[in-house]
């Protein structure tokens, strides 16, 4: 899986279109990676997606949110029980190990051969057979030199710059800190005893801990290359890599001693461990989604959908190039939304190229996808992935919004008092999750109303994001709102609360005559204008490479993205 500090997830091979089985008409159901994995008599782990999927449309009109959670849970369970029986019987008869999941009506097979794949593909009740291979999950996105170092430590800023940038303190001042909201975070785990996290853990009552319904470990055995330092099937939160501790801190962390790292410190958090030291499988992610839909006790018994979170952070991605077909996680994400869980996902760190939002769950319509800006200003981070989404043929606009994702200081897993800075859309996403918690604590009428909340966050986002250089992704220039570079803009808690959008800035033409061309270009873009036609003209040697004339003249005001034409000296005529 690809964590969004640029961390990587497990995935499927590129070109993950279903492949042919020697001319068999059932061939279109099987992913090429599965055929590769089962070639030469080998056995592999793969997912069986059933055709039958539960109809959850009635859930969206239910006012009693506990009843809504139970309805979704019971409907999904009933559909799985009704349709999976024949497949389970077949697998048992073949002596094949498997695990069934009701959250998306799929069965994970552990150790199936090509003959089994062909037998399954020929069945009418089987929709697709997709890979369940592990892959490295957390890879640093290698920030540009001007960005903060990967773990650069610095003194606390009391309220972190990113927290202030999304205007969280303004809602705190009105008495809204995320109280009454539960945030679910699936990641590398959490160091729950950290000073900034422990007071906000739902499993801590101030005197003792109860991890039932508050923690789940979907890592049941070794997936990564080395033994997990936390162990497997852990009964208390543990972070095997540090990423989850950092993202949880940004959603809701505060140690009460000056480290105000979280956007919604009044919210509670729960967590699910979905990767083994940054390496996961589509199955481990599915298991976490299922647990969030109906949290269980530590024995994985007695599920209770009434204890599901309101909003879920997903600072990871499952690349189609390594393990997830485009639709592998779509049903479970959509079912989570039907249950009333706001699913946020980080866009990824493959920018600045267009069409780089490529990984589930960020690609889905049901996922609210977050890109990253610098924490020091509103410039789009170079690494932030851009849309549109092409891997599923949708051309869907992504990301939805952006948030601070460069040099974000939060909790570290090295000790209970450690803090450090990370870069990535993994760091941006938790800001959005915190904003949702703040908004829902302030506006109870919006709680679990996903469509209305998404619309409000989009229409009130600050569109004054700077893209250097300007770009056009799929015929949508970055000066147009929304766009495939930063979506609708910077998420804004105060504007969402007030229901009023920050007005777009106008292009105020700056004076650039006398500046070198690269400097002039940056100045024009930062003024919300665009660089137009650049013409080279004869000039003195001293003015070679510098702007000698511009049009329109400095100080004129236009709508954003107005072109500024330049004449640049090329030196004396030879």
Q: Catalytic amino acids?
A: 187, 243, 426
Nearest to 337 by CA among 218, 436, 424: 436
Number of neighbours of residue 152 by Cβ within 10 angstroms: 13
What H or E segment, with its residue span, contains residue 569? strand 563-569
What H or E segment, with its residue span, contains residue 270? strand 268-273
CA distances in angstroms from 295 to 46, 283, 463, listed in the order given: 25, 17, 38
Distance CA 273, CA 278 (A): 10
User: Residues with Cβ < 8 Å from 354, sequence gap 6 or more?
Assistant: 386, 387, 388, 471, 473, 474, 484
Distance CA 1, CA 15 (A): 18
User: Residues with Cβ < 8 Å from 291, sequence gap 6 or more?
Assistant: 216, 218, 272
- Evaluate whether 354 touches 484 at the Cβ level (below 8 Å): yes
DSSP string, 416-480: TT-EEEE-SHHHHHHHHHHHHHHHHHH-GGGTT-HHHHHHHHHHTSB---B-SS--EETTEETTS
Distance CA 2, CA 385 (A): 12
Distance CA 371, CA 383 (A): 9
- Evaluate whether 391 touches 368 at the Cβ level (below 8 Å): no
Distance CA 252, CA 238 (A): 18
Cα angle 495-496-497, degrees, rounded to a multiple of 5: 90
DSSP string, 522-538: HHHHHTT-EEEEEEEE-
Distance CA 570, CA 538 (A): 6
Nearest to 248 by CA among 172, 306, 298, 314: 314
Largest CA distance in the chain: 87
- Evaluate whether 308 touches 181 at the Cβ level (below 8 Å): no
Distance CA 425, CA 403 (A): 8
Task: Give me the residue label for tokens 């559909």.
Answer: 79
CA distances in angstroms from 149 to 138, 141, 240, 371, 423, listed in the order given: 16, 11, 21, 19, 8
- Evaluate whether 513 touches 528 at the Cβ level (below 8 Å): no
Category of 277 on φ-ψ map: left (φ > 0), alpha (ψ -120 to 50) or beta: left
- Evaluate whether 30 touches 22 at the Cβ level (below 8 Å): no
Half-sphere exposure of 483 (CA within 13 A, CB side): 23
């Amino acid at each position: 899986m690809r964590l969004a500090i640029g961390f990587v997830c497990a995935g499927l091979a590129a070109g993950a279109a279903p492949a042919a089985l020697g001319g068999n008409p059932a061939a279109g159901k099987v992913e090429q990676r599965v055929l590769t994995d089962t070639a030469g008599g080998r056995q592999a782990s793969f997912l069986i997606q059933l055709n039958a999927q539960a109809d959850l449309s009635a859930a969206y009109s239910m006012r009693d949110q506990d009843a809504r959670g139970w309805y979704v849970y019971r409907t999904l369970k009933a559909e799985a029980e009704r349709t999976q029986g024949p497949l389970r019987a077949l697998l048992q008869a073949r002596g094949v190990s498997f695990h069934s999941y009701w959250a998306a009506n799929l069965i994970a097979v552990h150790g199936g051969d090509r003959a089994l794949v062909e037998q399954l593909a020929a069945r009418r009740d089987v929709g697709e057979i997709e890979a369940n291979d592990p892959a490295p999950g957390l890879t640093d996105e290698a920030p540009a030199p001007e960005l903060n170092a990967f773990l650069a430590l610095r003194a606390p800023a009391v309220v972190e710059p990113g927290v202030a940038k999304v205007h969280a303190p303004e809602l705190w001042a009105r008495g809204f800190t995320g109280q009454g909201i539960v945030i679910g975070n699936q990641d590398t785990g959490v160091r729950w005893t950290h000073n900034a996290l422990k007071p906000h853990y739902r499993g801590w009552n101030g005197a003792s801990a109860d991890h039932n319904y508050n923690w789940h470990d979907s890592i049941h055995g070794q997936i990564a290359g080395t033994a997990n330092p936390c162990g497997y099937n852990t009964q208390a939160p543990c972070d095997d890599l540090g990423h989850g501790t950092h993202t949880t801190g940004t959603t809701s962390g505060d140690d009460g001693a000056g480290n105000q790292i979280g956007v919604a410190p009044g919210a509670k958090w729960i967590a699910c461990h979905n990767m083994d030291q940054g390496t996961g499988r589509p199955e481990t992610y599915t298991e976490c989604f299922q647990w969030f839909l109906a949290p269980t006790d530590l024995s994985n018994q007695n599920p209770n959908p009434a204890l599901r979170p309101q909003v879920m952070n997903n600072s990871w991605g499952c690349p189609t190039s390594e393990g997830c077909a485009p639709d592998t996680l779509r049903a479970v994400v959509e079912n989570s939304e039907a249950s009333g869980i706001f699913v946020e996902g980080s866009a990824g760190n493959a920018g600045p190229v267009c069409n780089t939002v490529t990984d589930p769950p960020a690609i889905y319509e049901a996922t609210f996808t977050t890109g990253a800006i610098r924490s020091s200003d509103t410039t789009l981070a170079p690494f932030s992935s851009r849309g549109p989404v092409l891997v599923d043929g949708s051309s869907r606009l992504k990301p939805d919004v952006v948030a601070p994702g460069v040099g974000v200081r939060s909790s570290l897993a090295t000790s209970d008092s450690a803090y450090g800075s990370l870069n990535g859309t993994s760091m941006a996403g938790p800001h959005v999750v915190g904003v949702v918690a703040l908004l829902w604590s302030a506006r109870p009428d919006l709680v679990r109303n996903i469509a209305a909340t998404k619309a409000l966050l989009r229409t009130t986002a600050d569109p004054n994001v700077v893209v250097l250089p300007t770009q056009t992704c799929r015929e949508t220039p970055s000066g147009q709102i929304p766009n495939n570079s930063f979506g609708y803009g910077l998420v804004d808690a105060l504007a969402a609360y007030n229901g009023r959008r920050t007005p777009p800035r106008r292009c105020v033409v700056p004076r650039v005559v006398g500046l070198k061309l690269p400097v002039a270009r940056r100045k024009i873009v930062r003024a919300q204008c665009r660089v137009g036609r650049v013409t080279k003209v004869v000039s003195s040697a001293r003015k070679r490479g510098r702007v000698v004339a511009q049009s329109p003249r400095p100080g004129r005001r236009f709508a954003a993205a107005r072109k500024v034409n330049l004449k640049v000296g090329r030196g004396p005529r030879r």
